[in-house]
Structure 1
Amino acid sequence: MGSMRVNKVADRVKVVVAEMLDRRIKDPRLGFVTVTDVRVTGDTQHATVFYTVMGDAEELDATADALESAKGLIRSEVGKQLGMRHTPSLEFVRDAVPENARQIEDLLNRARERDARVAAKAAGAEYAGGADPYKSKADDADDLDEMDDSDESADGGSRA
Structure 2
Amino acid sequence: MADSARARKLSERIQQVVAQMLDTRIKDPRLGFVTVTDVRVTGDLQHADIFYTVFGDDEARAESAKALESAKGIIRSEVGKQTGIRLTPTLAFHLDAVPETAAHLDAALVEAARRDKEVAALAAAAQFAGDADPYKRADEDEDDEA
TM-score by length of 2: 0.92
Please name the residue that 1:141 is paired with: 139
For 1:34, what is the secondary structure of its paired residue?
strand
User: What is the CA-CA distance between 1:4 and the residue it aligns to?
Assistant: 1.1
Higher relative contact order (CA 8 A, sep 6+): 2
How far off is 1:85 after superposition?
A: 1.1
Moved more, 122-131 or 8-17: 122-131
> How far apart, in 1, do the equivalents of 2:39 and 2:55 lie?
19
Structure 2 unaligned residues grouped into runs of 5+: none
Structure 1: segments with no counterpart, 5+ residues: 150-160
Displacement of 1:130:
4.0
Q: Deviations over 1:99-145 (max 9, x none)?
A: 1111111111111111111112222222233444444xxx3222222
Match of 1:103 in 2: 104
Q: Counterparts of 1:27 and 1:132 in 2: how far apart (Å)? A: 75
Alignment of 1:16-95 (within 5 A): 16-95=17-96
CA-to-partner distance for each residue in 1:3-56, whole Å, 9 max, x for gaps? 211111111000000000111111111111110100011111110000011111
Partner-residue secondary structure (3-state), 1:26: coil
Counterparts of 1:99 and 1:134 in 2: how far apart (Å)?
Answer: 52
The structure with the largest alpha-carbon Rg is 1
How far apart, in 2, do the equivalents of 1:85 and 1:142 lie?
88
Q: Distance in 2 between matches of 1:105 and 1:133?
A: 42
- Structure 2 CA distance, aligned partners of 1:128 and 1:91? 63
Aligned residues: 144
Q: Report the Cα offset of residue 72 of structure 1.
A: 0.5
Out of 93-102 and 60-69, give the one that drifted further.
93-102
Aligned residues: percent identity?
60
Question: What is the Cα-based RMSD across aligned positions, in Å?
Answer: 1.4
